[in-house]
Each structure stands twice: as structure tokens, then as C-alpha cells.
Amino acid sequence: MKKLSIIWLIFVLLFISLGFFHLNASRKSISPFQLSERPFDKYVSAEIAGADIDKPLKDFARDFNSYLGDYNKSSRKQNRIAASGYFLASLTAIFSMVLTFYHQRR
């Protein structure tokens, strides 16, 4: 029965480490996409047929950054939920280890 307590202890350590891994992952995010400014942008305007040449790229950057914001929020939430589940599993494993330990003493 002592081996069973050791197995539960291994599960406790595994679940806690996975919980901290996901908790750490929830704090990371992808930084927004930054457009590089043209060196002489203040002095020269670039247009094709009267339209700003950089407008499609600016629109892409805006949409892409919106996507990155949604992705970061979703990833943060998923990792926090996973961390909570692993911490709950580690508490369950601790409880099972204690029950096993007390059962051994009887």
C-alpha cells in the first residue's frame, strides 16, 4: 500500500507542474503587428490613382491586430481553465493520497 501513496504523490507533482505550466502560458501573449514607417513619409506622399498606397497594409494591420487580440484573450482563458483543472486534479490526488495513507495505518 505504500507504493500506492507514492503513485498518488507522483500524480500530485505532475498535476501541479502542469498547472503552473498553463498558468505561466496564460501570462504570455503575441505582441501587435507594427507597420514600419517610410523614411521620408513626412515629406512625400505615395498615391496610386488618388488612393493612399499604404491603406491596404494599414487595413490589414488593423484587422490582424484585432485577430491577435481575440487570439490572446482566448489563449489566456483556455490556459487559465486548464491550470484550474490541473490544480483541482492535484487537490484530488492529495486527498486520495491522504485517504490511502490513513487506510494503510488501519
C-alpha span between 51 and 4 (Å, rounded):
73
Quick one: pLDDT at residue 41? 65
CB 93 within 8 A of CB 1: no
Do the domain assignments include residue 95?
Answer: yes
Q: Is the CA virtual torsion 91, 12, 89, 95 positive or negative? A: negative
Name the residue with higher pLDDT: 9 or 51: 9
Quick one: pLDDT at residue 40? 67
Q: Is the pLDDT of residue 1 over 90?
A: no
Quick one: pLDDT at residue 44? 66
CB 80 within 8 A of CB 25: no
C-alpha span between 93 and 8 (Å, rounded):
6
Question: Can you give the residue range of the structural domain that contains 19?
Answer: 1-30+75-106
Mean pLDDT score, 89-98: 94
Backbone angles phi, psi at 46, to 5 degrees: -110, 115
Looking at the structure of the chain, the number of domains it has is 1
Q: Is the pLDDT of residue 78 over 90?
A: yes
Do the domain assignments include residue 58?
Answer: no
Mean pLDDT score, 17-39: 92
Mean pLDDT score, 15-20: 98
Do the domain assignments include residue 10?
Answer: yes
pTM for the full predicted model: 0.77
> Is residue 51 classed as helix, strand or coil in its secondary structure?
strand
Do the domain assignments include residue 50?
Answer: no
Mean pLDDT score, 78-105: 92
Do the domain assignments include residue 101?
Answer: yes
Do the domain assignments include residue 39?
Answer: no
| Confidence grade of residue 57 (pLDDT, cut at 50, 70, 90) | confident
